[in-house]
Amino acid sequence: MLEKDVKDILFDEPALARRVAELGRRIEEDYRGRELLVIGVLKGANVFLGDLIRQIGLDLEVDFIAASSYGNATESSGVVRILKDLDYPIEGRHVLLIEDLIDTGLTLQYLAENFRSRGPASLKICTLLDKPERRKVDITVDYKGFDIPDEFIVGYGIDYSQKYRNLPYIATLKPSVYSQGAGEAR
């Protein structure tokens, strides 16, 4: 059972649903009259994106990019490898990039620069979670769910060592889990 590894629940299902609905409403207002292309960064953003798009009552399309950042166990290096590129061109499109978590900001800095070079009509960034203490580069975040402390968190799409993504809430992990050192930290 995954629950035994959970320390504290930071955001339970109703809290997540409320915030996602608020973000969806704001996005809907801001993009009314424009065709929106929502791009999720796999794998972590998958659950958030799935809930968010159902709160946006506009014509929209969805695409995904999978990126992995080279680095050591706990820190990305800023060198990002694209594991799966977008299926479609984004030139002239209104793009909303969806992340689950911004930590150092290096992944998003790379992706935003890469996307801008493809000539979108506009590019905005939406993240569910932000760890501002950890930031290494300036990122303008247009839509944000919650700021969180610099702790290992899991659930609602976010993993520790590829597990816990299916927890329906966002929680911190007991130190005994990650001090065993099996996987990468986020």
Binding site for ligand PRP (CB under 6 A): 41-44, 68-69, 76, 99-108, 159, 186
Beta bridge partners of 9: 171
Reading the block at residue 132, the tokens are 């501002």
Nearer to ligand PRP, 36 or 159 (CB): 159
Smallest gap from Cβ 169 to ligand PRP, in A, equals: 17
How far apart are alpha carbons 173 and 138 in whole angstroms?
A: 28
How far apart are alpha carbons 184 and 142 in whole angstroms?
A: 28
Task: For residue 12, indicate whether it is catalytic.
Answer: no
* Residues 9, 171 contacting (CB under 8 angstroms): yes
Smallest gap from Cβ 149 to ligand PRP, in A, equals: 15
Smallest gap from Cβ 14 to ligand PRP, in A, equals: 23
Q: How many CB atoms lie within 10 A of CB 93?
A: 22
Q: How many CB atoms lie within 10 A of CB 151?
A: 15
Nearer to ligand PRP, 24 or 127 (CB): 127
Catalytic: which of 103, 142, 150, 159?
103
Q: Which residues carry out catalysis?
A: 103
